[in-house]
């Protein structure tokens, strides 16, 4: 076994590898960019070395810099994690040429699978079913268009290299093909350095099933059961689970065997994932399955396999890379219970899932237990950088069956709180309660077709609003008592926070902001007994108490319990089913007036790089017309005209790096 390894990655996967390495007594070496000087993977590793600027191409994609650190630190092996250089055959080959072990598959296997087109041809030759399409090298636009017409619509254009949902477009008719092809090729070029695409028939309402495989240098290839990843938004997985609700025992066995044959066809070594698409004719009804691709690395969702098999896949990776045989054979692989994973991101679902960035002013995640696992690369006070994936944490739960696992996930999400950048917590809470998830019938396109069903409620729930008011009252009274205790007259009646005024009982008015709505509630009483007036209704509250961020009280005689969390400028209240995030306000404040005339400007929604400018001064544009394309947080954003008009000025060029809220285009007024 190795005594020291280098981890050529960052964030939660680097921290994940460090945990297993430490368990095995292996010292770890981290690398970091200028943006990651204080990152958790840097703090947790035994050694850490800088490798360049904040952009991935200036640091984590610099194989030469990483190899230099490996040599200087004496690392015997390099673990690539996922993303960055994890599926780069040239890097794997350079590592081996330097006399260092690459903890992953061999370069020749990666090359065979690095091209989706070549992979499909190889699998078809090996007898693994593939989706009909075009995988040829002729990338002329007219030829591709003709092939698309031959295959028929709808079809999918996919980048031949790379993954992660980048460079993929669904085309519904021949008229839209050329524009989608151009966009797909551009995104593929930016993400993977190559713009080759393949075409394949689009299967309506498919399910996405992947099989975890493992191979060693002694000729053994096995699978570790399946994971279902059908809950996706724009080809990005948002919920993964094992086992799948779709597969019957015969189909599960057939897919497992096909995955093993796929691995054997390329002499696969170490961890990999064979991904299949399955057409579903209806709930619980299965049809044919087709090979999609092999991801030649550890997957983000590997923890669900670990929780249902009891195995440590990173430990398996290390042992296989060190030359050992697989720790278990196929008939020894267990399946126990049900596991589910979701990804907590700094992003704004209501703004098209726009990635966020900034300091995590408050971060609360559930405590780890036999039923709950948290994989994270950040802690409270860390910064979510604009340069990398905005993942905050992965929440993984396990229980004896699926219904219990879903209940565990709902409870785990209810315990989460993020203040600073916006997050997708409310979206995930809606997701794990949605009938399509509960019934196990969701297909890969459901979220995109019905996204509105998963969006946070626009209105504030009255009961939650009243409970938030009670929590705020108790907090105010606590502060008042603390101030009185340290004053010269601690027993003065004027120190009581009950709203009393000479001549009348008085009351206290509390003000909250929820999205674009302002709420005023009036409270009478003190010390846990109140009458709350709002919207023409009065609610009597008795026995209100706050203990360890839990509010308990009787509302109109009925007992209720709420979790309460306060950030720097926010108040979160949760009843176990839904949450409400409010911004407490002063009763009187000056309203800010927007004099900027936002309808005359196109602004950058966040820091990023301009990749395409499609208008010039003097151009006539219509409302919704695409004016620029920018790249930020590993995704392309289309910036469109807010109204019809004439372009007055273009303030950005392709290649420019711009700040958030920067004015990029102005329209004549």
Active site residues: 297
Structure tokens at 339: 């596991």
Which whole-number Å values give the CA distances from 191 to 83, 143, 185, 365, 593, in the listed order?
11, 24, 10, 32, 40
Between CA 214 and CA 270 the distance in angstroms is 5
Peptide bond into 243 cis (omega under 30): yes
Task: Spell out a b/e string for 517-546, using b for 16 or more CB atoms within 10 Å of the CB, else e.
Answer: eebebbbbbbebebebbbeeeebebeebeb
Nearest to 92 by CA among 75, 104, 76: 104
Between CA 531 and CA 523 the distance in angstroms is 6
Between CA 27 and CA 327 the distance in angstroms is 22
Between CA 104 and CA 17 the distance in angstroms is 13
Task: Spell out a b/e string for 299-324, using b for 16 or more CB atoms within 10 Å of the CB, else e.
Answer: bbbbbbbbbbbebbbbbbbbbbbeee
Between CA 305 and CA 341 the distance in angstroms is 10
Token pair 């809950």: residue: 231
Nearest to 396 by CA among 420, 365, 438: 365
Q: What letter does residue 390 receive in the DSSP assignment?
A: -
Between CA 221 and CA 274 the distance in angstroms is 12
Using DSSP, state whether 413 is helix, strand or coil. Answer: helix
User: Cα-flanking dihedrals φ and ψ of residue 458, to 5°?
Assistant: -80, -25
């Amino acid at each position: 076994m190795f005594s020291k390894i280098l981890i050529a990655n960052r964030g939660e996967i680097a921290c994940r590898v460090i945990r297993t390495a430490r368990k095995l007594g292996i010292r770890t070496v981290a690398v970091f960019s200028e943006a990651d000087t204080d990152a958790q993977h840097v703090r947790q590793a035994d050694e850490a070395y800088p490798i360049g600027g904040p952009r991935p191409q200036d640091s984590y994609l610099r194989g030469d810099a990483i190899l230099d650190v490996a040599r200087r630190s004496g690392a015997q092996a390099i673990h690539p994690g996922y993303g960055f250089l994890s599926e780069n055959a040239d890097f794997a080959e350079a590592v081996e040429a330097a006399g260092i072990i690459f903890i992953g598959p061999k370069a020749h296997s990666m090359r065979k699978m690095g091209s989706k087109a070549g992979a499909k041809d190889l699998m078809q030759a090996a007898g693994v079913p593939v989706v009909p399409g075009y995988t040829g090298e002729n990338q002329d636009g007219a030829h591709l268009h003709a092939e698309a017409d031959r295959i028929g619509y709808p079809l999918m254009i996919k980048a031949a290299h790379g993954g992660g949902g980048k460079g993929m477009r669904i085309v519904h008719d021949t008229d839209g093909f050329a524009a989608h092809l151009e966009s797909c090729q551009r995104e593929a070029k930016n993400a993977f350095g190559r713009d080759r695409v393949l075409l394949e028939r689009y299967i309506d309402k498919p399910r996405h099933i992947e099989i975890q495989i493992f191979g060693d240098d002694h000729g053994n290839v096995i699978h570790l059961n399946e994971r279902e990843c059908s809950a996706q938004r724009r080809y990005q997985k948002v919920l993964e689970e094992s086992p799948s609700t779709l597969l019957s025992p015969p189909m599960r066995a057939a897919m497992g065997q096909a995955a093993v044959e796929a691995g054997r066809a390329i002499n696969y070594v170490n961890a990999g994932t064979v991904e299949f698409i399955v057409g579903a004719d209806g709930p619980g009804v299965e049809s044919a399955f087709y090979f999609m691709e092999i991801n030649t690395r550890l997957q983000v969702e590997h923890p669900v396999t670990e929780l249902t098999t009891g195995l440590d896949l990173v430990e398996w990776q290390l042992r296989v890379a060190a030359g050992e045989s697989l720790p278990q054979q196929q008939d020894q692989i267990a399946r126990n219970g049900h596991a589910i994973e979701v990804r907590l991101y700094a992003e704004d679902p209501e703004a098209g899932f726009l990635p966020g960035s900034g300091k995590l002013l408050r971060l609360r995640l559930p405590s780890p237990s036999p039923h709950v696992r948290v994989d994270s690369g950040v802690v409270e006070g860390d910064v979510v950088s604009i340069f990398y994936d905005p993942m905050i944490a992965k929440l993984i739960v396990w229980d004896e069956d699926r219904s219990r696992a879903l209940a565990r996930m709902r409870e785990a999400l209810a315990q989460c709180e993020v203040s600073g950048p916006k997050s997708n917590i409310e979206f995930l809470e809606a997701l794990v309660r949605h009938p399509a998830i509960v019934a196990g019938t969701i297909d890969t396109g459901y979220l995109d077709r019905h996204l509105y069903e998963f969006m946070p409620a626009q209105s504030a729930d009255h009961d939650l609003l009243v409970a938030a008011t009670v929590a705020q009252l108790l907090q105010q009274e606590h502060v008042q008592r603390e101030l009185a205790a340290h004053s010269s007259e601690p027993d003065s009646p004027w120190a009581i926070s009950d709203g009393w005024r000479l001549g009348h009982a008085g009351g206290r008015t509390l003000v909250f902001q929820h999205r674009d709505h302002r709420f005023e509630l009036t409270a009478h009483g003190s010390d846990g007994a109140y009458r709350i007036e709002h919207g023409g209704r009065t609610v009597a509250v008795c026995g209100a108490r706050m203990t360890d961020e839990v509010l308990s009280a009787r509302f109109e005689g009925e007992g209720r319990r709420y979790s309460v969390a306060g950030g720097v400028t926010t108040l979160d209240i949760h009843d176990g089913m839904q949450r409400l995030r409010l911004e407490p306000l002063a009763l009187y404040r000056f309203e800010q007036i927007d004099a900027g005339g936002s309808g005359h400007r196109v602004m950058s929604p966040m820091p990023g790089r301009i990749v395409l400018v499609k208008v010039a001064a003097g151009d006539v544009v219509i409302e919704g017309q695409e004016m620029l394309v920018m790249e930020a947080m590993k995704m392309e954003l289309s910036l469109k005209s807010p109204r019809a008009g004439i372009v007055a000025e273009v303030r950005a060029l392709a290649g420019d790096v711009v700040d958030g809220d920067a004015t990029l285009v102005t329209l004549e007024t």
